[in-house]
Amino acid sequence: MNTKNSINYLLHLADNALILGHRNSEWCGHGPVLEQDIALSNISLDLIGQARNFYQYAAEMMGGNTTEDSLAYLRDVTEFKNNLLVELPNGDWAQTVLRQFFFSAYQYFLFQELMQSNDRQVADIAEKSLKEVTYHLRWSSEWVIRLGDGTEESNKRMLAATDYLWNYTGELFEAAAYELQAAGNGITINQAGIKQQWEVKVKAVLAQATIEMPKNEWMHAGGKQGQHTEHLGYILAEMQFLQRAYPNAIW
């Protein structure tokens, strides 16, 4: 069994959750209304919880001095394996909720697959997370529809968000080499199946939001292999500052 591939895949799952959780947390104290500010902060908390579970498992496989904290705070940009979608700036509320919708719909189908994994720990994390993702998917779907099918202004913004984010969705379904090879370790994923279910869900919600689903054209990629946009460096600079400036600081 080649654990390297499993570790890389776990890091990919964890990085996606951590970076999106961190991005969403930037809204804390800035949400359009208090209740929605709290909602997005709750979603951030769930995502960071998922990240911790995946990091803990990866750290256990890696052994030595590796911990969930060293994985989150002491790796550099090129070592992060998250999708580009999650590191993009928040933009306005439309862009934030649409990104959450694209991502939650992806996790919703992905975790149903991972629950069948022969790797018991991965299956358990997926089972637990899926219950929370169900709430995220519902919340974000409703916001996409509310804005898309809302006022002229909100519709314009949801259209702009769709234009901006769409070309980052393809990467979710492009398996990295370690992802395919992790299948040999019992972490089996049916990428094509997830993509198909995702497209059905997205199309239905966008239709209700009166937004035409964009055509599948050229897509950005590279995040899973550590090739990121310039935005990730800024996130890490802020998130990792304390541990870099004061190694092993605790409080």
Residues of the shown chain interacting with other proteins in the complex, contacts defined by CB under 8 A: 35-36, 38-39, 41-50, 52-53, 108, 123-125, 127-132, 134-135, 137-139, 141-142, 145, 205, 208
- Nearest residue to 136 via CA among 49, 232, 12: 49
**DSSP at 247:** T
Alpha-carbon distance of 158 to 146, in angstroms, equals 10
Smallest separation, CB 15 to other proteins (Å): 16
Which CB atom, from 52 or from 228, has the smaller least distance to other proteins? 52
Contact between residue 196 and residue 172 where contact means Cβ atoms under 8 Å apart = no
Distances (CA, A) of 78 to 5, 30, 140, 141, 199: 17, 30, 30, 32, 30
Nearest approach in angstroms of CB 159 to other proteins is 20
> Is residue 26 a contact partner of residue 77, using CB atoms and an 8 Å limit?
no
- The CA distances from residue 225 to 37, 150, 203, 247, in Å, are 33, 39, 28, 27
The residues, ordered by sequence, that sit 6+ positions from 184 with a Cβ below 8 Å of its Cβ are 1, 2, 5
Instruction: For residue 177, give both structure tokens.
Output: 């080499």
Least spacing, CB of residue 26 vs other proteins, in Å: 17
Query: Is 213 buried (19+), middle (13-18) or exposed (0-12) by CB count in 10 A?
Result: middle
Comparison of 122 and 182: residue with beta carbon closer to other proteins: 122
Closer Cβ to other proteins, 125 or 235, answer by number: 125
Cβ distance to other proteins smaller for residue 38 or 192: 38
Residue whose CB is less far from other proteins, 181 or 208: 208
CB of 167 to other proteins, least distance (A): 25
Q: Please, what is the minimum distance in Å from the beta carbon of residue 217 to other proteins?
A: 28
In terms of CB distance, is 145 or 189 closer to other proteins? 145
As measured in angstroms, the least distance from the Cβ of 250 to other proteins is 13
Q: Which amino acid is at 57?
A: Y
